[in-house]
Structure 1
Amino acid sequence: MTRQRQLQTVQLAALIAMALLCLYGAHLGWLTSTARIQTLVNEAGWLAPVAFILLQIIQVVFPIIPGGLTTVAGVAIFGPAWGFVYNYIGIGIGSVAAFCLTRHYGRDFLGALVPQKFMTKYGRWLAGGKSFDRMFTIAILLPVAPDDFLCMLAGLTQMSLRRFVTIIVLAKPWTILAYSLGLSAVIHALG
């Protein structure tokens, strides 16, 4: 089995496991309201934030669920302040992990995780040198950019790990903060 097939198998298994876990949680009544989810989180204590941060790390490296969904979940479950903190920690660590894994395993790793259309669309950025760094920074600041993929793509460039981490540390919080505040307003308006 090729590395690409192995990674796709892992992604599919993780997606099935997440679906089964959600169905099980819904069956037990854990996922029927925000209040019940918050009660479950409070009962879990310190394990809840740790599990959520791990989920964020995994969803960045192995994009099986949209990051926007988990960001919403963080805000809904932990509130806008702690939701922001846990989202930022998990997404930041996951972004660095995605960069490093792609740097180590190369184009095959990236090709196994993302559709070819992304490689075609953004692959031309790879020849950009320093202009890639500027485009990457701007894209990380935009809430609609495919950040996880772009972090992996950055791993194929000459960008240093130090420069990558600096961009993530300085640019990523603004997008997560925008999501956290915007989603918090929506949740309160609906609630």
Structure 2
Amino acid sequence: MERTFLKRIIYVLPILGVLCFTALVIYGYSIGIFRSVQSLQTFIDQFGEYAVFIFIFLQILQVIVPILPGGISTVVGMLMFGNLQGLFYSYIGLIIGEIIVYWLARYYGKSFVRLILSKKRYLKFERMVDRPEKGIKKLMILTLLVPFAPDDLVCLVAGLTELPFKEYMKILLIFKFWSVATYGYAILFLFNRFLIR
């Protein structure tokens, strides 16, 4: 009886977490936190010495429930903490987020995926799931190497395939920093070139 109750709690808690995350994002949009780089920067900056932890938490959240277009939150980190430190904090948050997504997908399967993906993205997702382990590894490496490719989606797919967690982590740790740095610097360049006067 106790074990069944415990299993139910373990099953429900991550779903509640995702719902809370979604509620926070909706609340953030309603009060304007996620409308621009400046508003997000101001929001994070008000936490003082805890700003780094808030930023890392937002990066974790970004993987599960996308807040801003890819790379924008990384640029916020680079502008707030300096280029290298911002990239490092962004990398930490995104890696933790990708680990959480992998295990949520593995534990809850397609029901979790349907909860966080739009219909259009879910169709792309379904087409990827049938790939063999080697195919998923190659696809993961490719999407992490190519800037602005849907690497978060492929990491989600990896959780539903036979790809072992150890192999998943190897690929993620080696290639994710390249991905974060490439789109971070690309968006920062565009931001400096066209938006800052």
- TM-score bucket of the superposed structures, by smaller chain: 0.7 to 0.9
Deviations 1:41-64 (A, max 9, x none): 38702x111110011001112224
SS of 2:130's equivalent in the other structure is: helix
User: What is residue 113 of structure 1 aligned with on the other side?
Assistant: 116
2:46 and 2:65 map into 1 onto residues whose CA distance is 28
Amino acid at match of 2:169: V
Query: Does 1:173 pair with 2:177?
Result: yes
Shift of 1:21: 4.7
RMSD of the alignment, in Å? 3.0
Amino acid at match of 1:118: R
User: What is residue 19 of structure 1 aligned with on the other side?
Assistant: 29
Structure 2: 5+ residue stretches without partners:
1-11
Aligned pairs, number: 179
1:18 and 1:139 map into 2 onto residues whose CA distance is 29
User: What is residue 101 of structure 2 aligned with on the other side?
Assistant: 98
- TM-score when scaled to structure 1? 0.79
Task: Give the share of equivalent positions with the same residue, in percent.
Answer: 29
Query: Does 1:41 pair with 2:41?
Result: no
Shift of 1:112: 0.8
2:106 and 2:95 map into 1 onto residues whose CA distance is 17
1:29-108 to structure 2, matched below 5 A, reads 31=38, 37=42, 41=45, 44-45=48-49, 47-108=50-111
Amino acid at match of 2:80: I
Q: 1:143 aligns with which of 147, 154, 157?
A: 147
2:183 and 2:129 map into 1 onto residues whose CA distance is 28
- TM-score when scaled to structure 2? 0.77
| Structure 1 range deviating more: 90-99 or 136-145 | 136-145
Amino acid at match of 1:19: Y
